[in-house]
Structure 1
Amino acid sequence: MRGVLDRWKAAVDAHEPQRVAACFTEDAIFQGLHPYSVGRQGVADYYDSQPLGMTAEYRILETRRLADDLVLGYLGVDFSFTDRPTLGVRLGVLVRRAAEGGWFIGHYQVSRLDRP
């Protein structure tokens, strides 16, 4: 899980949408804070629309191995910006091992946190 999430974070921090999308499966279901999409192009479009300077810090809160090649993760993520307060969210991911051995995100679901 950490391997693919570290690749995702590095690409988000560098504002490289195509590199972010490469962390996902070809048929990934992606739900950020905007309407959902399916596939890498939707992921790239979403991250391309994010402001320059946005960075992500994640914490793995829970994991469950569902099968040898499938892991469910529940994360806390703080997205920081240069011109507005940090946005804290919860992130559910399903990470799959591909036939060639690498791990990719197959499902990504963000939930916004309400902070007092």
Structure 2
Amino acid sequence: MNDILYDVLAQWKSGIDDHDPHRVAALFTKDAIFQGLHPYGVGRDAVAEYYDSQPIGLSAQYKLLETRQLADDIVLGYLAVDFTFTDRPTLPVNLFVILRRTDDGWLISHYQVSRL
């Protein structure tokens, strides 16, 4: 279960660090509920739009705090994430994700950020 989360999250981090919003969005289901620090959106287009609006140089460092296997095809992860910027202080947040096994592999179906 942790391997699943670490694999998807490593790809998520890489896409953010490279400022590649479409690569990040590809890690989400087509109907994913996405709640960053702006109003929520649904689907990959909302995810891509959100990450495209983020500044160049944004980077994510995370620590997986809790995991739960809710079903054979559903995994929950709770993380502490520090988003770092080139021109402002680090933003620490909590992140809650639900991954679902699909025909395309494990994808994020729910993403919820909250400020500390």
Give the distance between the partners of 1:60 and 1:107, measured in 2 at CA: 16
Shift of 1:99: 2.3
Question: What TM-score, normalized to structure 2?
Answer: 0.95
Partner of residue 90, structure 1? 94
Structure 1 segments of 4 or more deviating over 4 A?
none
The secondary structure found in structure 1 opposite 2:99 is: strand
* Residues 1:43 and 2:44 aligned together: no
Partner of residue 106, structure 2? 103
Partner of residue 62, structure 1? 66
CA RMSD, aligned part only?
0.6
Q: Which amino acid aligns with 2:114?
A: S
Shift of 1:53: 0.2
Q: Which amino acid aligns with 2:107?
A: F
Give the distance between the partners of 1:64 and 1:83, measured in 2 at CA: 36
Partner of residue 15, structure 2? 11
* Structure 2 unaligned residues grouped into runs of 5+: none
Identical aligned pairs, as a percentage?
Answer: 67
The secondary structure found in structure 2 opposite 1:84 is: coil
The secondary structure found in structure 1 opposite 2:37 is: coil
The secondary structure found in structure 1 opposite 2:11 is: helix
Partner of residue 24, structure 1? 28
Partner of residue 112, structure 1? 115
* Structure 1 unaligned residues grouped into runs of 5+: none
Shift of 1:82: 0.2
Shift of 1:70: 0.3
Give the distance between the partners of 1:81 and 1:90, measured in 2 at CA: 17
Give the distance between the partners of 2:72 and 2:9, measured in 1 at CA: 18
